[in-house]
Chain A
């Protein structure tokens, strides 16, 4: 039970990072982006490649930072991957979504995003193979925190949670203290008024993709660090991340953070009563529950 709680918080932090970008893009561009979770995969694989490159450049970089399995080179690779994934998100928007948008098909965007997801997911599979990969072959043993109740935690998991919370805290500071953050919130609330207040919407769309892609990359790397990297990572996470945005209310960044943790916790606690095979269905149950109890989520506003 306590193990499920701890695991749930950990998975929740990863889902939150993914859901922040999704909820922003979904609110602003008004479509359910089924390719968002593929950005996590891009981020995870990009970091894998950069990690290898850094390792080849300097012998000290592949050293693990005790007690983690995380290496210095992977830390650098994470930052580079966040930038690259942000840029890929902008590129996908330029190549596909922007053009479909220009043709006026709000609903066609959803189709397009499915197509994009298929392309990204399977190209990653073709490049990196269908077998799972790991950032480190070193085995780092989990630490037994307590024997009764039994609780195992890996140092990497603690790092992931702290790093995810740190990233979210930085985002919070940006949103609540900087005029750039005000602009982001302004655009989310009322795009037309934001525009007449001098905000360039097209530039904001680019920035939202950059931020969303960067956060997704971090989520993907953290997922890879605590589980494994595989090409269907996006397929497995797309529904939980959507559930997080719906729980929080589409468009609410803080809602997405809370939603991520709630979905992570609920999915792991459900394993106490359900066999683990059923876990992919849990996010759907959460979505149903939210739609019945509070259709616009915890912080969402009615918007048709």
Chain B
């Protein structure tokens, strides 16, 4: 079953200068879908356009069959879609506990129970719950960001380069955790620079270049594809203009 579909998306910050020039994508439910591509291909823009942070001027986005093109970003959570930005994805001046209470503020009586459930899932965060989130290590920050996303019980999580700036070990942990969420029925759509690791975990992969779809297919196939291998997996890096 398809959870999230984007069709012919045209989007950009300035009306006449689209960064995405008609990109399509669909993310299967309870699967990991990864978007890769060279710098400037529009990967982050695509995920931001879905999240309502970049205006979409053409095309449509559907979530479980219902149209959600150009949503108000603050209403995405209510639709069951969580978005984890690439950097600055936690509130540094708040404590870890306050970060979680903030996203749980509309949960009413359940809030405390749900917060404790998250602390059970992430014991490392529970130990530091009264510390300022800004004091966390990179990997822990990323887990706090994921915990904040999970707080709203999302059906879809959009992640923008979750492994950026992390040590290889921490990156692997975060990606594996994202993968494990699919077992609970969560759909994951992520942008990654860390192509090899991402392809190993992902089910399906889209390659973008210059705001357009380039190739897509099962992640396994792309991992073994010699051309993709040469361009993205350690072979000569080709930079698209």
Quick one: which of A182, A198, A199 contacts B94, CB cutoff 8 A?
A182
Q: Known contacts being A179-B101, A190-B88, is A198 close to B93, with CB within 8 Å?
A: no
- Considering only residues 175-222 of chain A, those with a C-beta below 8 Å from chain B are 179-180, 182-183, 185-186, 189-190, 192-201
Query: Is there an interface contact between A189 and B91, defined as CB atoms closer than 8 Å?
Result: yes
B1-39 at interface with A (beta carbon < 8 Å): none
Most chain B C-beta atoms within 10 Å of own C-beta, residue among A194, A196, A198: A196
Q: State the interface size on chain B (CB cutoff 8 A).
A: 28
B89, closest chain A residue (CB): A193
Bitwise interface map of A from 14 to 34 toward B, beta carbon under 8 Å scored 1, else 0 = 000000000000000000000
* Bound: A97/B103 CA distance, A: 29
Chain A residues closer than 8 Å to B104, beta-carbon distance: 179
Contact check: which of B51, B92, B106, B148 meets A189 at CB < 8 Å? B92
Q: Shortest Cβ distance from A253 into chain B, in angstroms?
A: 11
Binds A, one of B71-79, B121-129, B202-210, B227-235: B71-79
The answer to whether A197 and B85 have CB atoms under 8 Å apart is no
Chain A positions within 8 Å of B89 at CB level:
193
Task: Tell me how far the C-beta of A202 lies from the nearest C-beta in chain B, rounded to whole angstroms.
Answer: 9
Taking a contact as CB atoms under 8 Å apart, the answer to whether A198 and B91 are in contact is no
- Closest-CB distance, B132 to chain A (whole angstroms): 11
Is the beta-carbon distance between A197 and B53 smaller than 8 angstroms? no
Contacts of A194 in B (CB 8 A): 91
- CB contact under 8 A between A182 and B148, given known A193-B88, A196-B83: no
A196 touches B74 (CB 8 A): yes
Q: Does B182 contact A (CB under 8 A)?
A: no
Complex Cα distance A185/B104, Å? 16
Chain B: residues with CB nearer than 8 A to chain A? 51, 53, 72-78, 83, 85, 88-94, 98-99, 101-106, 148, 152
Query: Which residues of A approach B to under 8 Å, CB–CB?
Result: 179-180, 182-183, 185-186, 189-190, 192-201
Q: A186-B91, A196-B51, A200-B72 are in contact. List 4 more A-B contacts (CB 8 A).
A: A182-B98, A183-B102, A196-B73, A198-B78
